[in-house]
Amino acid sequence: MAINQFNDLPLFDGLTGGYLYIHGLLQTLYMQQDSVNHLSQSLFIKKINYKKNYPEIYSVRELRNDVTGHPTNNYGKYFCVISQTTISNLGFTYCRYHPNGNNQFIHIEIKSLLNKQRELVSKILNKIIGDLKMEDKEHKKKFSEDKLVSIFPNSLNYQIEKLFEGAYSKNTNKYPMTKISLDLIQSLMNDLTKAIDDRFESLNAVSSVKGLIMKINFINKHLFELINSQKYSGNLDTEVYLDSLKRSLSDLKGMCQEIDDDFKED
């Protein structure tokens, strides 16, 4: 954005803001390279070696250090001064003053500088995108045959029916069977949580699935409380909880199927 705004500036020179514009542009180019480097490090723990692999834009870093970063003392090697009369939208000339008197006058063309930076930064970002896609493909391949929906037991619908039977029956002898069904659902939630963690490193990465698992665990907890307090049967609270549980399990299985489809090999 800052680079685009530089290109839209009206004509300027060394007496109409040129110094500020030049310093701002060089610092922006330097920061852009740093940002791409930090992106690479955060995604792949891999630092970009601009000096070795992209010398054409490493020169931008050296230029920024000369003109903007350390102009008065570049690590004791020389100091730099921009020639005021050369500053324009098109470029500028600066001088490196060396202690031995071998001074250098260096002319900078801004357009070619920006074009080269844009070209190579785009190349680096495209490589990062390609590496991400490859890593994602390999990760999905690892779990492509390990289906989340397979964690849902075939007897789940039967267990839900037993939960409803217990809610409408006055026979408390059915409570042990009801507890078995709730234990199965709790075990299902634990297994799903682990499977999601394996795929995404954290349940937090799939907020919709996390929300449903938390909801189902909440319902399970209160259903156990109703059983233990002998209030499970003939209780409207039980019916409301069971309706929500049945619907939530169905929604959760649908979400797991979507994840399985996403992890399916092309």
Amino acid code (one letter) for 119: E
Mean pLDDT of 25-29: 96
Cα–Cα distance, 27 to 3 (Å, whole number): 10
Paired tokens of 114: 């920006």
At 76 the pLDDT is 82
Neighbouring residues of 236: CB distance < 8 A, sequence distance ≥ 6: none
Residue 65's nearest CA partner among 39, 96, 38 is 96
Cα–Cα distance, 104 to 25 (Å, whole number): 22
For 64, 74, 102, the CA distances from 98, given in Å and listed in that order, are 18, 10, 6
For 3, 39, 87, 142, the CA distances from 45, given in Å and listed in that order, are 28, 9, 40, 21
Averaged pLDDT score across all residues of the chain:
93
Percent residues over pLDDT 70 in the chain = 98
pLDDT at 113 over 90: yes
Q: Which residue has the tokens 């030049």?
A: 22
Find out whether 67 and 22 touch, Cβ atoms under 8 Å. yes
At 175 the pLDDT is 73
Q: How do the domains of the chain map onto residue ranges?
A: 2-130, 139-263
Residue 117's nearest CA partner among 36, 45, 19 is 36
Per-residue model confidence as pLDDT tens digits over 139-192: 999 999 999 999 999 999 999 999 999 888 877 666 788 899 999 999 999 999
Residue 181's nearest CA partner among 162, 195, 209, 202 is 162
Q: Residue 107 phi/psi, 5° resolution?
A: -100, 135
Helices (H) and strands (E) in the chain, counts: 9, 3
Mean pLDDT of 49-53: 95
Residue 74's nearest CA partner among 53, 54, 97, 94 is 97
Per-residue model confidence as pLDDT tens digits over 196-253: 999 999 999 999 999 999 999 999 999 999 999 989 998 999 999 999 999 999 999 9
User: Is the whole model's pTM more than 0.85, yes or no?
Assistant: no
